[in-house]
Structure 1
Amino acid sequence: MYINTLFWKQNPKGAKTRRRKEKKMQRNKKSLVLSCLITTTMLLLIAAVDSTKDTSVRLELAHRETLWPNPLSRIEDITGADHKRHSLISQKRMYKGGVKMPLGSGIDYRTAQYFTEIRVGTPAKKFRVVVDTGSELTWVNCRYRGRGKGKAENRRVFRAEESKSFRTVGCSTQTCKVDLMNLFSLSTCPTPSTPCSYDYRYAEGSAQGVFAKETITVGLTSGRKARLHGLLIGCSSSFSGQSFTGADGVLGLAYSDFSFTSTATSLFGAKFSYCLVDHLSHKNVSNYLIFGSSSSATKNAPGRTTPLDLSVIPPFYAINVIGISLGDDMLNIPAKVWDATAGGGTILDSGTSLTLLSEAAYKPVVTGLARYLVELKRVKPEGVPIEYCFSSKAGFNESKLPQLTFHMKGGARFEPHRKSYLVDAAPGVKCLGFMSAGTPATNVVGNIMQQNYLWEFDLKASTLSFAPSSCT
């Protein structure tokens, strides 16, 4: 104290400097004390959480190599996953706009399905495939290592070994043994290099072959072409079923990690849409299946957007139907018919032609509509598996039928065109386009009921929007 006073008296200017330094030191001491208090408080809080354990956080980090049974399957899975990821990154940077694929009726090929064309392999070969929102697997009629029917019944054949980008999935891989089980992969695996095989089942028919990764070339809305690399496809050496008449394969559009939808929406955005032309239209009449672009026709459409349930009946696109009305009359249908948790529920399916309803919904619908058709003679045409068919040779004004309406959650109302539920089954014969699915059962809104409507699936928002359209 004495020294400081003397110094100030002898050198006032120096004393001021010394005083400023002392104040700074005092501030630093206060900051240090505050810092210590904060640190102490944090340590006390951590100790309060668990005073008996180490205060650090430790998470085990393991490389995925530990999951593979042998080096060959490990390398195949690693390179496959990495190539696919890099391909998606590259393609996202490269392509602008959306995918645009022609979509037409299969009436000229004697089937009630809708077709599009895809180009498979390198060099790319064109194939006509069924557009199926209820199928996970995209496959083509294929010949590989001498197996396959080859070209028959006007079908094209994909010769896998002539494609530079064709790579089979090994039967010993995690992909085959675990990931593809829901796609009916088989357990046959004589050697690790043997391709992963499948027996993919449909409601009617099946397809057998081997899984592979391949390049598919598609058109873009900009007019350019895009090559989508590393897509999972099926190389089908044999298949059966009426649905495949006139087709070279199937374009799987279900909500699945392995469907074409999964890759297309990851590249071009989480929306896809289609508009189904009249099912009796010839092949020169078509519309488009589009991925990525949003349609203005479904925007701001009151009463035409409903939640899309993507987890309740996987891998199908489930909608929340809550009732059906004819005209102004709501039909007496038990609520459990529409409850997916009770074995019911409803899906939208482009791969099913007619509309299937649980028996408790089917009876009120067909008997209610039949009351308006009493002037027509009831007939049973050979080969037509529909219960309510009528002779229409004398002509019939469809406007006499009441408007059938599907009422959906959120207030949406789907009002199909009358020709969609009183369908032309044969010359001079009209049938109610419904079949009983039994009890309990999943209700299916088929492609004929969907015709002349634009449907837009928003997988990010989990919504379905729709609007009537000529689709031309």
Structure 2
Amino acid sequence: MVTYTWQRGSFLFTLALIYSLNSSQGHEISTSTKLELIHLHNLPTSRVNRSQLDRLRHLFHMDTIRLNDISKKIRLKNGIDNAIRRHVLESTNRSGSKDYNVTGEMEMFSGADYGTGQYFVHFKIGSPAQKFVLIVDTGSDLTWMNCKYRCSNGDRCRRSSRKKRVFRADHSSSFKTVPCSSRMCKNELANLFSITRCPSPMDPCAYDYRYSDGSSALGLFASETVTFSLTNGRKTRLHNVLVGCSESTRGQSFQGADGVMGLGYSNYSFAVKEANKFGGKFSYCLVDHLSPKNISSYLIFGSYKESLNLTLNKMRYTDLVLGVINPFYAVNIKGISIGESMLEIPSEVWNVNGVGGTILDSGSSLTSLVQPAYKLVMAALKLSLLDFERLNLNFGLEYCFNSTGFNESLVPRLVFHFTDGARFEPYVKSYVIDVAMGVKCLGFVPAIWPGASVIGNIMQQNYFWEFDLVNSKLGFASSTCT
């Protein structure tokens, strides 16, 4: 990334989306679709073989990069930030790289923090459809895959295909690039970091993303057809979906995936543009990250009532704050109580319109609280653990202990209180987390203040979450997710 290191995204999760569809273009689809979520460490093709403690170390390392970036994001004004970032990206192209042209000679960069992905999805795109594994991310707004735009050299293309799955754009009759001379490229895609250079009017509109962990991707914008299997047994196709064709990527953030599905909140994200065809809603339910590999969780576009036979406790609703900390989904928190006692956390910590706020982020594993909140929450929870031997594991979490004889009833319940009266009461196992046999830790990390607090995906486990983008509402209910 460039010197001030701001990243666009945050990996939600890595899923398994099985699509195969067929429908009319531009009309709202009355049914819904249900997608299987697969955890990063449970991918059948994953070479990751870590102990439980090593897995937590890995997640903590990836969260650290992400959380620092979110904290910086909230301190930047959106309009100024986008203009500065775009200018710096275009004026600091790597030495030796060439201007983008249709032969794909220029490297491509992505703005999403792909290094924190937790779940993957199988994604079908093109005509005929080609299948890929994408990271699903509520904190980024561009859907892209590894791609070859034109392959005039057959041997070169075959060599690339042996290394990774690559979308062959020249094999798809529905692939159509966005011209670099178009208003869409110059203005509408500026927030997706389109490049303003335009060697000739019909050259493809390119994007150039970089970010602080050194990973990058560079590509061109196009419209394509995405295929879905619906819950009513039918198939449908979503036409003219904006996608990125990434011909070059660099770094370890993309390992295990062929690209990203952007579910963040912005005009061209998959959630906003395509979920509208399913009633403007998407939802997910995450099983425990330590569940066996044969236990699945789901991502849903449309009404969950048509998609699931889940046992849900009473759904609660609170306001979803959209467009303030783009592309993230923010909520209005009033405070945190522990054991029915409200902690005296300053109100500005929760002010999403100021220098605070709270983000619901499935791309972050651990929950981060800005310093004023973190200190009080940790102090209150430690009091119930004084009888257990404290351990120093030296891997990022402040408070770990020997859990022999531990019972969850010893820990006072933690509750997030929303300003409209709704309450989110996570399970104790979601904030007193297992890290090794006989070892537990308080699953919070400190975040920079001023900045945003983040409710991560471990805290969200065993809850069903519905994002209603039309009515700006967040629904949630406890569930087994199976």
TM-score range normalised by the length of the shorter chain: 0.7 to 0.9
Show CA shifts across 1:402-456 (max 9, x none). 2111000211100111121122334554332222220101111111111110011
Question: Residue in 2 aligned with 1:319?
Answer: 331
Larger mean CA deviation between 425-434 and 406-415 belongs to 425-434
CA distance in 2, matches of 1:420, 1:348: 15
CA distance in 2, matches of 1:397, 1:242: 39
Q: Given residue 359 of structure 2, which amino acid in structure 1 is its aligned partner? A: I
Report which of the two structures shows the higher radius of gyration computed on alpha carbons: 1
> Is 1:130 equivalent to 2:135 in the alignment?
yes
Of 290, 304, 318, the residue aligned with 1:306 is 318
Of 204, 226, 230, the residue aligned with 2:240 is 230
Aligned-pair CA distance for 1:203: 6.7
CA distance in 2, matches of 1:241, 1:351: 18
Aligned-pair CA distance for 1:260: 0.8
CA distance in 2, matches of 1:284, 1:231: 32
Q: Go from structure 1 to structure 2 and tell me whether the alpha carbon gap of 1:201 and 1:135 turns closer, same or farther (over 3 Å shift).
A: farther
Of 2, 25, 33, the residue aligned with 1:90 is 25
Structure 1 SS opposite 2:335: strand
Are the counterparts in 1 of residues 144 and 244 from structure 2 also a CA contact under 8 Å? yes
Q: Given residue 314 of structure 2, which amino acid in structure 1 is its aligned partner? A: A
Structure 2 SS opposite 1:92: coil
Aligned-pair CA distance for 1:298: 9.9
Aligned-pair CA distance for 1:294: 4.2
Question: Residue in 2 aligned with 1:38?
Answer: none
Question: Residue in 2 aligned with 1:28?
Answer: none
CA distance in 2, matches of 1:152, 1:187: 33
Q: Given residue 279 of structure 2, which amino acid in structure 1 is its aligned partner? A: G
Q: Go from structure 1 to structure 2 and tell me whether the alpha carbon gap of 1:152 and 1:451 turns closer, same or farther (over 3 Å shift).
A: farther
Q: Any stretches of 5+ residues in structure 2 without a counterpart?
A: 1-21, 49-58, 60-116
Aligned-pair CA distance for 1:157: 2.3
In percent, how many aligned pairs have the same letter?
Answer: 54
Are the counterparts in 2 of residues 298 and 466 from structure 1 also a CA contact under 8 Å? no
Question: Residue in 1 aligned with 2:121?
Answer: 116
> Is 1:185 equivalent to 2:194 in the alignment?
yes
CA distance in 2, matches of 1:298, 1:339: 34
Are the counterparts in 1 of residues 430 and 443 from structure 2 also a CA contact under 8 Å? yes
Q: Go from structure 1 to structure 2 and tell me whether the alpha carbon gap of 1:470 and 1:224 turns closer, same or farther (over 3 Å shift).
A: same
Q: Go from structure 1 to structure 2 and tell me whether the alpha carbon gap of 1:389 and 1:166 turns closer, same or farther (over 3 Å shift).
A: farther
Show CA shifts across 1:60-96 (max 9, x none). xxxxxxxxxxxxxxxxxxxxxxxxxxx9973527x44
Of 439, 454, 477, the residue aligned with 1:467 is 477
Are the counterparts in 2 of residues 105 and 280 from structure 1 also a CA contact under 8 Å? no
Aligned-pair CA distance for 1:370: 2.3
Q: Go from structure 1 to structure 2 and tell me whether the alpha carbon gap of 1:468 and 1:220 turns closer, same or farther (over 3 Å shift).
A: same
CA distance in 2, matches of 1:424, 1:203: 30
Q: Given residue 319 of structure 2, which amino acid in structure 1 is its aligned partner? A: P
Are the counterparts in 2 of residues 423 and 433 from structure 1 also a CA contact under 8 Å? yes
What does 1:348-387 correspond to in 2, within 5 Å? Answer: 348-381=360-393, 384-387=395-398
CA distance in 2, matches of 1:236, 1:395: 52
Q: Go from structure 1 to structure 2 and tell me whether the alpha carbon gap of 1:236 and 1:375 turns closer, same or farther (over 3 Å shift).
A: farther
> Is 1:268 equivalent to 2:278 in the alignment?
yes
Are the counterparts in 2 of residues 333 and 364 from structure 1 also a CA contact under 8 Å? yes
Aligned-pair CA distance for 1:291: 1.4
Aligned-pair CA distance for 1:202: 5.6
What does 1:389-468 correspond to in 2, within 5 Å? Answer: 389-392=400-403, 394=404, 396-468=406-478
TM-score relative to the length of structure 1 = 0.74
Structure 1 SS opposite 2:429: helix
Count the aligned residue pairs. Answer: 381
Q: Go from structure 1 to structure 2 and tell me whether the alpha carbon gap of 1:400 and 1:311 turns closer, same or farther (over 3 Å shift).
A: same
Show CA shifts across 1:154-207 (max 9, x none). x53222222222222222221111111111222332222322222335675443
Structure 1 SS opposite 2:348: helix
Q: Go from structure 1 to structure 2 and tell me whether the alpha carbon gap of 1:185 and 1:292 turns closer, same or farther (over 3 Å shift).
A: same
Aligned-pair CA distance for 1:315: 2.5
> Is 1:388 equivalent to 2:399 in the alignment?
yes
Of 132, 139, 144, the residue aligned with 1:139 is 144
Are the counterparts in 1 of residues 312 and 479 from structure 2 also a CA contact under 8 Å? no
CA distance in 2, matches of 1:395, 1:169: 62
Aligned-pair CA distance for 1:210: 1.7
CA distance in 2, matches of 1:121, 1:338: 43
Q: Go from structure 1 to structure 2 and tell me whether the alpha carbon gap of 1:376 and 1:131 turns closer, same or farther (over 3 Å shift).
A: farther
**Structure 1 consecutive aligned stretches of length 4 or more whose deviation exceeds 6 Å:** 296-300
Show CA shifts across 1:11-41 (max 9, x none). xxxxxxxxxxxxxxxxxxxxxxxxxxxxxxx
CA distance in 1, matches of 2:167, 2:462: 33
CA distance in 2, matches of 1:243, 1:369: 34
Of 176, 191, 199, the residue aligned with 1:167 is 176
CA distance in 2, matches of 1:152, 1:375: 56
RMSD (Å), alpha carbons: 2.8
CA distance in 1, matches of 2:358, 2:193: 24
CA distance in 1, matches of 2:398, 2:216: 27
Question: Residue in 2 aligned with 1:39?
Answer: none
What does 1:230-309 correspond to in 2, within 5 Å? Answer: 230-240=240-250, 244-295=254-305, 301=314, 304-309=316-321
CA distance in 1, matches of 2:314, 2:470: 19
Of 33, 42, 53, the residue aligned with 1:99 is 33
Are the counterparts in 1 of residues 224 and 242 from structure 2 also a CA contact under 8 Å? yes
Question: Residue in 1 aligned with 2:340?
Answer: 328
Structure 1 SS opposite 2:353: helix
Are the counterparts in 2 of residues 104 and 276 from structure 1 also a CA contact under 8 Å? no
Q: Go from structure 1 to structure 2 and tell me whether the alpha carbon gap of 1:301 and 1:199 turns closer, same or farther (over 3 Å shift).
A: same
Q: Any stretches of 5+ residues in structure 1 without a counterpart?
A: 1-86
Aligned-pair CA distance for 1:286: 1.4
Question: Residue in 2 aligned with 1:342?
Answer: 354
Structure with more helix by fraction: 1
